[in-house]
């Protein structure tokens, strides 16, 4: 039922050429939606175009207002409108005690993780309204519901995503636009390996030990698969999610804390 209801939806996934975003783009394309992605990685965009012909891939840094304006002009030309925005782009930001972090690194994390979502939403809302309603899915993190020592810019940006999501849901509900956040736990893949390496360097805890902790901090004792996140995005965008809005939905194996 969810799959049928996602057929023919016009979907934009930011940072959709690789990682979790690519998994989400593949899931929507697989059920017959019309998908556009943006990314800053030219090689990943080229791979997307080769592997998903018939779908759209644009170069765009979500923290750059002019880039985002060009992206939405391209999406209107290519898809003729929009039903779903997946605000997936986000970076891990710097790792370290707060006094060691540079203001530039702090600002860069905020610019991509929260300013980027704002820049995309302000262009998407008129399109969703013109479609008679739609769905916005903002990527937060388990770091959007727990404190995360040595990752203060990331945690602050992902909590900001929750405030943005809940406020938008109230503002846009009368337009039949649903707004939800997904909060992934540690997702198995190259990024979590980089995150663990950085944490080991910052805390002096061995990589093996950190891998064990990252797995055991979830009650289910395992990391999340990127496809788990994609399935949640499909459900939220489809008929199963038609009365779900303003929610912060954890897909994290019941994570209990972040260290
Ligand atoms: N991987 C995890 O364990 C995890 C856990 C919780 C939340 N998340 C969140 O999920 C989202 C996706 O994470 P991921 O692990 O797939 O990331 P990733 O680091 O694998 O990057 C995915 C893509 O984002 C693109 N990108 C980076 N900066 C961009 C920008 N400014 N504009 C456009 N594209 C950009 C990259 O080029 C890459 O193709 C992020 O918001 C992240 O914070 C990830």
At 130-143, the pLDDT tens digits run 999 999 999 999 99
Question: Counting atoms of ligand 1 from 1, which one is nearest the CA of 64?
Answer: 31
Q: What CA–CA distance (Å, rounded) separates 37 from 46?
A: 12
In this predicted model, what pLDDT tens digit does every residue of 151-173 receive, in sequence order?
A: 999 999 999 999 999 999 999 99
Contact 65, 35 (CB under 8 A): no
Cβ-based neighbours of 167, under 8 Å, separated by 6 or more: none
Tell me, using a 6 A CB cutoff, whether residue 191 lines ligand 1: yes
Residue 2 has pLDDT above 80, yes or no: no
Cβ-based neighbours of 40, under 8 Å, separated by 6 or more: 15, 59, 60, 61
Between 189 and 3, the higher pLDDT residue = 189
Confidence of residue 19 (pLDDT cuts 50, 70, 90): very high
Q: Select from 21, 48, 92, 227 the residue to mutate for testing ligand 1; criterion: most ligand atoms less than 8 Å from CB.
A: 21
Residue 239 has pLDDT above 80, yes or no: yes
Tell me, using a 6 A CB cutoff, whether residue 187 lines ligand 1: yes
**pLDDT at res. 3:** 79
Residue 123 Cα to ligand 1 middle (Å): 21
* Residue nearest (by alpha carbon) to ligand 1 atom 26: 15
Q: What CA–CA distance (Å, rounded) separates 241 from 234?
A: 9
In this predicted model, what pLDDT tens digit does every residue of 34-81 receive, in sequence order?
A: 999 999 999 999 999 999 999 999 999 999 999 999 999 999 999 999
Ordered by start, the domain boundaries in the chain are 2-251
Task: Report the mean per-residue pLDDT for the chain.
Answer: 97
* Residue nearest (by alpha carbon) to ligand 1 atom 41: 90
Order of strands, sheet of 10-14, starting from the edge strand that comes earlier in the sequence = 56-59, 34-39, 10-14, 84-87, 134-139, 177-184, 248-251
Residue 1 has pLDDT above 80, yes or no: no
Residue 192 Cα to ligand 1 middle (Å): 11
Tell me, using a 6 A CB cutoff, whether residue 87 lines ligand 1: no
Report if pTM > 0.85.
yes
Residue 186 has pLDDT above 80, yes or no: yes
* Residue nearest (by alpha carbon) to ligand 1 atom 22: 19
Tell me, using a 6 A CB cutoff, whether residue 84 lines ligand 1: no
**pLDDT at res. 259:** 83
Contact 131, 79 (CB under 8 A): no
Question: Counting atoms of ligand 1 from 1, which one is nearest the CA of 20?
Answer: 16
**Beta bridge mates, 123:** none
**Beta bridge mates, 182:** 139, 249
Is the sign of the CA dihedral 128, 134, 138, 144 positive or negative?
positive
Tell me, using a 6 A CB cutoff, whether residue 225 lines ligand 1: no
In this predicted model, what pLDDT tens digit does every residue of 200-221 receive, in sequence order?
A: 999 999 999 999 999 999 999 9
Contact 12, 60 (CB under 8 A): no
* CATH topology classification for 2-251: Rossmann fold (3.40.50)
**What's the mean pLDDT in 212-241?**
96
């Amino acid at each position: 039922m969810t799959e049928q209801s996602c057929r023919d939806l016009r979907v934009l996934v930011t940072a959709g050429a690789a990682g979790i975003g690519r998994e989400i783009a593949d899931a929507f394309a697989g059920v017959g939606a019309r998908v556009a992605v943006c990314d800053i990685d030219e090689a990943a965009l080229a791979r997307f175009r080769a592997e998903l012909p018939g779908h759209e891939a644009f170069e765009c840094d979500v923290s750059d207002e002019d880039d985002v304006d060009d992206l939405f002009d391209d999406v209107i030309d290519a898809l003729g409108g929009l039903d779903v925005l997946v605000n997936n782009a986000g970076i891990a930001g710097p790792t370290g005690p707060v006094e060691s972090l540079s203001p530039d690194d702090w600002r860069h994390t905020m610019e991509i993780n929260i300013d980027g979502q704002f820049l995309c939403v302000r262009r998407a809302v008129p399109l969703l309204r013109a479609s008679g309603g739609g769905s916005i899915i903002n990527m937060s993190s388990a770091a959007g519901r727990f404190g995360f020592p040595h990752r203060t810019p990331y945690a602050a940006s992902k909590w900001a995503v929750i405030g943005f999501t809940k406020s938008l849901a109230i503002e846009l509900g009368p337009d039949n636009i649903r707004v939800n956040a997904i909060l992934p736990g540690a997702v198995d893949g190259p990024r979590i390996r980089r995150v663990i390496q950085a944490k080991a360097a910052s805390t002096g805890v061995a990589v093996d030990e950190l891998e064990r902790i990252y797995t055991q901090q979830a009650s289910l004792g395992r990391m999340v698969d990127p496809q788990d996140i994609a399935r949640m995005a499909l459900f939220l965008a489809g008929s199963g999610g038609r009365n779900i809005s303003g929610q912060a939905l954890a897909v994290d194996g019941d994570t209990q804390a972040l260290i």
